[in-house]
Chains A and B, each alone.
Chain A
Amino acid sequence: MKQKIHLLLILLAFLNCSFTNSQLLKNLTSSYESFSAYYLDDTKTGDFNYNNRFRSNNYLNIKSNIAKNWNLELQIESYAPNALLNYSPNLKDTGISTFKFQYTNEKIDLTIGNFYQQFGSGMILRFWEDRNLGINNSIRGLNANYRINDQINITALYGAQKKGFKYSKGYVLGIDTEIDVSKIFKNNSTLILGLSYVGRNDNKTTGTTYKNTTNLYSARLDFSSSSYYSNIEIISKSKDPIMQFEKFSDNFVKKGSAFLFNTGFIKNGFGIDVTFRRLENMSIYSERDAFGNTFNESIINYLPALTKQHDYSLTNIYTYQSQPNVSFVDPELIKVGETGLQLDLYYFLKKKSYLGGKYGTNLSLNASLWNNIDGDFDFNNKNYKTNFFGSGEKYFSEISLEIRKKWSPKVDNIILFVNQFYNKKYIEEKFGEINSKILVIETTYKLNKNKSLKLDLQNMSTKDDTKNWLAVGLEYNLNSDLSLYVSDMYNYGNTIKERKIHYYNFGASYNKGINRYTINYGRQRGGLICYGGICRYVPESNGLSFGVITSFF
C-alpha cells in the first residue's frame, strides 16, 4: 500500500511541475471533506469508554478528464487514529477507498472500478455514498451503459460490493432496460417502461433448500403529463433463507416481493400525492450473513421509510425506519414486512388573497400509516402465509401540518404541528408504544441585507417512554460568511431525575466560496441519526467537533 501511495505522490508532484498545460492537470478537480471530534467525559452521560478520544473521518476525491471521453477518479479515505463513534469497524486507517476508469461518449458509458448505480426507484438496486451514515456500497467491477437511441437505454453491471476498505464475498449481476414510449402521445406526456434483473451470488452461506444465487426481477411504468403523474413498480425475489438469531435454516426459506404505486395531481397552487408500498421479505445483501448489520453495509437495494423527512431535532426522536424483513422474535412479535401509504397535500394561498396576505402562504399536510403485513403465522414451525391486501399491527402513523408564512420583508415564520404514533416494540424490537404531539415555531428576522436571526422553539408532549421534551435553537448570521448558533434539547418530562439532561450545543460555521469550516461543542443525544430515511445508531457523547469541506477545481 505504501508503495502505491509513493507512486501517487510522485505522479501528482510530477504533474504539478511539468505538465501545467496538460489535459490531465487542466481538468483535474478534487474535493476534501473532514469530520473530526475530540470526545470528553461527561458528568451526565458518562465517561468516554473507548480508545482514542480524538477521532477523524477524512475523504479526498480526485477526478481527472485525462483525454477526450476518458476519465479517472480516485477516492482516498482516512480514519485515523479511529473513525468517529459508531462507524463500521471496517473503516480504519488510511487507504484507497474507490478507484475508477471511465470511457464515455454520447452512446456508451463504460466504467471499470468502483461505480454507483440505481435501477428504477432503487427498490431493486441502488449503490450510493452517504458519508453522514458511513455508507459507500459502490460496486467494484464493470458497469456498461449503452444508449441505443433516444428511446432505449440498457445498463449491465457485475462486481463485488465495497464494505469499508474490504469487499463482499458475494457477487452482484444487474441488467436494466429503460424504454421511452412517449412518442405515442401527441402532447408533452411521457411514458417510460423499465425492466430489471438483479442476481446475487453468495457461495459462503449454502443450503439444500435454496440456491446460491438469489434472483430479483422488476417491472415499472412511469407516466407523466403536465398536471397528472403516476408510476408503478413490482419486484419479485426468489427463495432466500431467513436469518433468525444470527443463523440460517434450511427449513425457513421464503420468497420476497415489493409493490409500489404512486400517483399525484397538481394544478394552480394545489398538489396531491399518494404513495402505496408493500414490502415482504425484501432486503437483499451482497453477502447473506450481513443481514441486519447496524452499519448499513452490503446493502443492494434502497428501501427508505416513506414518511415526511423532518428537519427539527424533536421531530427526529421517534423516526420510523422501514420494516422490509421477516422476524420471528417471539409469538407476540412477528413481522414479515410492511404495508402502508403516505399522502401529501400542498396548497398555496395566493398573494393578496384574504388568507394568503400580502406575500401568500404555503400550507402542506403529510399523513402516513405503516403496518405489518396481514397473514397466518406459525411461530413453532417457522412458517407463514400472507395476504396481499389487509394489514397487521400498526407500526407507525403520523399527521403533520406545516405553514410557511412571510409577514413582511423582514419577518417570516414556519409553524409545524406533528401528531405521531410510534410502535417501539415492533420497530426497534424493544418495549412500548409512544403517542406524541410536537409543535415547532420558527421565526426568521432579517436585520439588514446580510444579517439575520433565526429562532426555533419546539415542544414534544407525550405520556409515554421518556415523556416531554423542549428544544430551542438560535442562529445568528453575522454576514454572508459567518454564522453562530446555540441550541438545547431538554427532556424535562423524564421521571428519572438523572435523565433530565440538557443536550446543549453551540458553534459556528464559516463559508467562503467553496470552503466551509464548522466547529461545535456540545452533548450528543444517543439514538438514531437519520438521513434520507436510513438511520444509524450513535451513542451519547460529549465533545468538540470540527468539519472542513473544500473543493479544488
Chain B
Amino acid sequence: MDINYFKSLIIILFFTQSVCSQTNIPSIYIKTINGKSINSKSTLNLDGLTVYSFWATWCIPCINELDAIHNEFEKWEEANIKLVAVSTDDSRTKRRVKPLINGKNWKFEIVLDENQKFKRALNISGVPHTIVVKESEIIYRKIGYKPGDESDLYDFLLKSSKKLIN
C-alpha cells in the first residue's frame, strides 16, 4: 500500500470526525479490585456525570492527578459526579494497586483493566487519559495531566452537571 493512501485515509477521518462525534461507553468486561468480572456499563452514574480516569501504578502524573482529585473529592460527590479510576496495570504491577490505594486512602471506585481491553476499545494510547461521560455518552476527553488541570476539569464538570439538572 502506498503511503499516499494512508495519508488520504487520515485526511478523510479528520473531515468525518465532526459528523461522528457521538460515542457511548463500550460494553467490556473489566474486574473489580477483588477480581470479580463486571461490565463496564455497570460503573456508569446514570443520572449524573461519570469521569473515567485511566491510570497505572507506575505512572507518576496519573497518581498526581488522582491525588489532586482526592483532595477535592467531597466537592465532586456533592455535585453527584462519580469517578472511576481504571487501572491499566498488567500482571507485572497489578499487585501494587491495592496497597497503593490503601496508602492513599482514595475513596473513589477502582477497577482493573489488566489486558487493556477497555482502554483499547476507547482508543486510548497512553495514560493518564480522562473521559467524561454524561448519562452514557462521552462528552469530553483529555490526554495527560499537569498540576492545576484538576480545577479546570472540576469547572467543566460543574458546568455540564448544571446543564444536566436544567
Contact = CB atoms under 8 A, between A and B. Distances in A.
Given A153-B37, A511-B142, A551 B123 contact: yes
Contact of B10 (A60, A225, A514): A60
Interface string B58-75: 101000000000000000
A477 B146 contact: yes
Contact of B143 (A58, A126, A225, A511): A511
B16 A483 contact: no
Interface string A464-496: 000000000000010010010000000000000
Contact of A275 (B95, B116, B142, B147): B95
A12 B9 contact: yes
B98 to A, nearest CB: 6
A16 B123 contact: no
A32 B60 CA distance: 25
B165 interface: no
B99 A29 contact: no
Contact of B144 (A76, A271, A516): A516
Contacts of B152: 450, 480
A184 interface: no
Given A116-B120, A118-B115, A348-B105, A229 B58 contact: no
B6 A552 contact: no
Contact of A273 (B2, B95, B148): B95
Interface in A494-540: 509, 511, 513-516, 532-533
A552 B9 CA distance: 13
B107 interface: no
A154 interface: no
Contacts of A118: 114-115
Interface stretch (B19-27, B44-52, B76-84): B19-27
A32 B12 CA distance: 12
Given A2-B1, A190-B34, A452-B146, A309 B58 contact: yes
B56 to A, nearest CB: 9
B146 A483 contact: yes
A315 B123 CA distance: 31
Contacts of B117: 116
A477 B35 contact: no
Contacts of A311: 58, 60
Interface residues of B, number: 65
A553 B123 contact: yes
A121 B91 CA distance: 5
Contacts of A20: 19
B121 interface: yes
A94 B142 contact: no
A180 interface: yes
A392 interface: no
Nearest to B116: A128
Interface string B107-145: 000000011110011011110000000000010111110
A121 B124 CA distance: 22
A348 B148 CA distance: 24
B126 to A, nearest CB: 7
Contacts, number: 224
A253 interface: no
A300 B45 CA distance: 38
Contacts of A63: 121, 123
Given A224-B35, A229-B98, A60 B16 contact: no
Contacts of A266: 98-99, 102
Contacts of B91: 121-123, 126, 302, 304
Interface in A69-123: 76, 78, 80, 93-96, 104, 106, 116-118, 121-123
B71 to A, nearest CB: 9
Which range holds the interface residue count of chain A? 35 or more
Contacts of A15: 16
B104 interface: yes
A302 B103 contact: no
B125 A94 contact: no
Nearest to A477: B146
B99 A271 contact: yes
B132 to A, nearest CB: 11
Contacts of A515: 143
A511 B144 contact: yes
Contacts of A180: 36-37
Contacts of A26: 20, 22
Nearest to A131: B125
Contact of A348 (B39, B103, B140): B103
A78 B95 contact: no
A371 B98 CA distance: 27
Contacts of B2: 2, 5, 94
Interface string A148-184: 0000010000000000000000000000001010100
Contacts of A32: 10, 13
A62 interface: yes
Interface string A291-315: 0000000000010111001010000
Given A8-B9, A116-B117, A450 B102 contact: no
Contacts of A240: none
A442 to B, nearest CB: 9
A67 interface: no
Nearest to B147: A452
A309 B5 contact: no
4 shortest A-B CB distances, which residue pairs?
A271-B99, A31-B123, A552-B17, A121-B91
Interface of B: 1-3, 5-6, 8-10, 12-17, 19-24, 26-27, 33-37, 39, 58, 60, 90-93, 95-96, 98-100, 102-105, 114-117, 120-121, 123-126, 138, 140-144, 146-149, 151-152
Given A304-B90, A305-B92, 15 more contacts: A2-B1, A27-B23, A27-B24, A60-B10, A126-B115, A222-B35, A224-B35, A273-B95, A275-B95, A344-B99, A346-B102, A346-B103, A513-B140, A551-B124, A553-B21
27 contacts: A6-B5, A12-B13, A20-B19, A58-B6, A76-B9, A94-B2, A116-B115, A129-B120, A180-B37, A188-B34, A224-B34, A224-B35, A264-B95, A266-B99, A270-B102, A271-B99, A271-B100, A304-B90, A309-B92, A346-B99, A480-B146, A480-B148, A514-B141, A514-B143, A516-B144, A551-B123, A553-B21
